[in-house]
Structure 1
Amino acid sequence: MRGTVTLITGGAGFVGSNLAHRLLAEGRRVRVLDNLCRRGVEQNLQWLRKTHGSNLEVSVIDVRDAEAVKAVMHDVSQVFHFAAQVAVTTSLVDPREDFDTNALGTLNVLEAVRAQPLPPPVVFTSTNKVYGGLSDVPLVLEGQRYLPQDAQWRAGGVTEARPLDFHSPYGCSKGTADQYVIDYARSFGLTTTVLRMSCIYGPRQFGTEDQGWVAHFLIRAMRGEPITIYGDGKQVRDVLFIDDLVDAFLLAEQHGKRLSGRAFNIGGGARNTISLLDLVDRLEALHGSRPRLAFDDWRTGDQRYYVSDTSAFQQATGWQARVPVAEGTARLYQWLAERERSPEAGRTPLVATAA
């Protein structure tokens, strides 16, 4: 008999704590595995404990510790594997740590799952960086956005048929993990699903320059601090509000057997695209003043254009992104503003990092 606990690795971070909140609100037992290496994530756990009480379990361990990971896999009915090193820039500084966390850590999780009498299903969060820089896609500049020349690309985006092209140590480590998760369904019969995420944003995201750029821009603007843009700011991303991503997780769990061994692109899609300069304009409207900008060189692995074609996942599960960019950024801005005003929060949480 399979267990009754949902395990979320990296569950104290931005994505993990939002999923944990949804599951706990439904009355499910949740076990969070997190090494708490990122400043501020303890506050996400405090929030979860205060809100949900004893249904939350916390194991402060590192996914690089294979025996510790195996020890917390007992009684687990579902695994959401989010624990990761999340920044391209960090991977360039210390590729070995990046590999050990993302690739070896994922192997440890898969092996711990495989060792169970009835292995629980696994949903894994991969990244759009597995598709590389997309330098072969012809682009044109329209206003303050790069856009594909091809009309079909504009209407859709990157599909799962796109060849993989790992770029940067981060892309390599996450891509390696991505392929291991898929292959463990093929080679060992595990139930596994990969979601290749574009840019996710929303409450409980304490963004930094290296990761969580939507929240990072909002935080800097709210504090009157300059924003550094790498490149020209006209690079385009599809952005997905966290509530929509949590919906996708639950659908991936619900349809796990049918989706097993497959990877799906998950993002806001063509209807929820924004350039960095577009977001600056949005910030001016939200905050009442335009943030100061500084520009620097393009960074390794930065795509000038990336938009997810989410039609495969939509056709398989009925999912679609529901929160438009204007609404989502306003909701995140309001949450951050409330945190800034809170005497309990102080200033520390807004400069913390959450995965």
Structure 2
Amino acid sequence: MSVVVITGSAGLIGSEAVEFYVGQGYKVVGIDNNMRQTFFGEEGSTVWNRQRMEKTFGSRYEHHDLDIRDGQALDKLFQQYQKDIALIIHTAAQPSHDWAARDPVTDFGVNANGTLNLLEAMRHHCPESVFIFTSTNKVYGDKPNTLPLVEKETRWEIDPSHEYQNGIPEDMTVDQSMHSLFGASKLAADVLVQEYGRYFDMKTVSFRGGVLSGARQSGVQLHGFINYLMKCVMMEKSYTIFGYKGKQVRDVIHSHDVISAFHTFFQNPRRGGEVYNLGGGRFSNISMLEAIDMAQQITGKKLHYTYSDQHRAGDHIWYISDLARFQTHFPEWKQKYNIRMIMEEIHSENLVRWS
């Protein structure tokens, strides 16, 4: 039986991948030790999602409470399945700017060393499998903030005459900018994934994500912007906007559309360490002020928020992904969810949990 290995399997993207590949008839091996709770406290725990999957999928889903920093444990697991492994989806990460600054060693260990351990396990045991890495737009550091931006009533926008009007492409430089320590550790992992593809001629790909969202995310203040915002509105909790007048813009993509892109690549993989920007693009993007207004419309509740002039170090003022490269290589891929659909789903699927 073909096996799909998924790290961070109880998280948002990981669990979406588990459900999809179980449905496709694969044996799914999940790796997740709930470090999200270590990073963000009880509110960030993914145990509820792991238990849901184990109950729903039974023997079709095999869970391993394993730390990706443990190279020997990963090697042993990959040795067990060897060439039965058709696909590795690597979503496990320390995902917060602020948390990384508190503990850079752990951040780099999880994001960079953990990725290296997985690539080595693949190279030694299943070199013909496909390796999909969930990277981030933070690999570009704060370079997007040097673009010519125009302040509008509810958002910042790029000058419409600029070549990046449709979004930021993969050729934006990753040099001469401040990344945050989180961005630096993810960039190190991103480059490793590319290098294993090029140097060892393996089928690896880095998807540099925008805001990845969906109803199953355990959103917290430090990570999971849309999910956490909806939670605050629904539970009538206070919220803080950090800098840029609340007009900072993000493109938001649903976990379903992320896995759809992953599977499209898996069906026709390219060797040599491909890189794609993957976000909502012009199809699905929103500013903080616009997101607050939409959340209030959907829930019928008022958000109580405060404003801090202090933006997060390395944070983007405006970021929209240019999806042209991926859509040129894979024209059959289409997005399904726009930002309103995403927020409405988060609301409807969490009414009981957040009431």
TM-score over 0.5 for the pair: yes
Structure 1 segment 52-63 matched on structure 2, within 5 A:
52-63=57-68
| 2:257 match | 244
| 2:172 match | 162
Q: Distance in 2 between matches of 1:334 and 1:98?
A: 34
Residue type matched to 2:180 in 1?
S
Q: Distance in 2 between matches of 1:8 and 1:36?
A: 14
Q: Is the 8 A contact 1:197 1:265 kept in 2?
A: yes
| 2:133 match | 124
Residue type matched to 2:289 in 1?
L
2:19 aligned with 1:21: yes
Q: Is the 8 A contact 2:135 2:206 kept in 1?
A: yes
Q: Distance in 2 between matches of 1:208 and 1:278?
A: 19
Shift of 1:339: 2.4
2:4 match: secondary structure: strand
2:2 aligned with 1:4: yes
Structure 2 unmatched ranges of 5 or more: 38-44
How does the TM-score come out when normalised to structure 1?
0.92
Residue type matched to 2:54 in 1?
R
2:53 aligned with 1:72: no
Q: Is the 8 A contact 1:7 1:31 kept in 2?
A: yes
Q: Is the 8 A contact 1:158 1:306 kept in 2?
A: yes
Q: Is the 8 A contact 2:12 2:216 kept in 1?
A: yes
Q: Distance in 1 between matches of 2:14 and 2:66?
A: 15
| 1:353 match | none
Shift of 1:117: 5.5
| 2:239 match | 227
2:51 match: secondary structure: helix
Q: Is the 8 A contact 1:31 1:57 kept in 2?
A: yes
Q: Distance in 2 between matches of 1:17 and 1:201?
A: 12
Q: Distance in 2 between matches of 1:151 and 1:272?
A: 21
| 1:352 match | none
CA RMSD of aligned residues (A): 1.4
Residue type matched to 2:140 in 1?
Y
1:129 match: secondary structure: helix
Q: Distance in 2 between matches of 1:151 and 1:209?
A: 35
Shift of 1:260: 4.1
1:149 corresponds to which of 149, 156, 159: 159
266-275 or 144-153: bigger deviation:
144-153
1:204 match: secondary structure: coil
Q: Is the 8 A contact 2:212 2:252 kept in 1?
A: yes
1:169 match: secondary structure: helix
Q: What percentage of residue pairs aligned between the two structures are identical?
A: 33
2:306 match: secondary structure: strand
Q: Is the 8 A contact 1:195 1:264 kept in 2?
A: yes
| 1:33 match | 31
Q: Distance in 1 between matches of 2:171 and 2:6?
A: 29
Shift of 1:254: 1.1
TM-aligned CA distance change 1:289 to 1:303, over 3 Å: same
| 1:193 match | 205
Q: Distance in 2 between matches of 1:179 and 1:89?
A: 22
Shift of 1:152: 4.3
Per-residue CA deviation, residues 276-305 of structure 1 (Å, 9 max, x unaligned), is 010100011012132011011111111000
Residue type matched to 1:70 in 2?
D
1:325 corresponds to which of 319, 335, 339: 339
| 1:174 match | 186
Q: Distance in 1 between matches of 2:262 and 2:353?
A: 27
Residue type matched to 2:58 in 1?
G
Shift of 1:203: 1.6
85-94 or 147-156: bigger deviation:
147-156
Number of aligned positions between the proteins: 338
Shift of 1:38: 2.5
41-50 or 237-246: bigger deviation:
41-50
Q: Is the 8 A contact 1:155 1:270 kept in 2?
A: no
1:270 match: secondary structure: helix
Q: Distance in 1 between matches of 2:60 and 2:124?
A: 25
Shift of 1:323: 1.1
Q: Distance in 1 between matches of 2:302 and 2:256?
A: 28
228-237 or 129-138: bigger deviation:
129-138
| 2:93 match | 84
Q: Distance in 2 between matches of 1:69 and 1:196?
A: 24
| 1:295 match | 307
2:297 corresponds to which of 254, 274, 285: 285
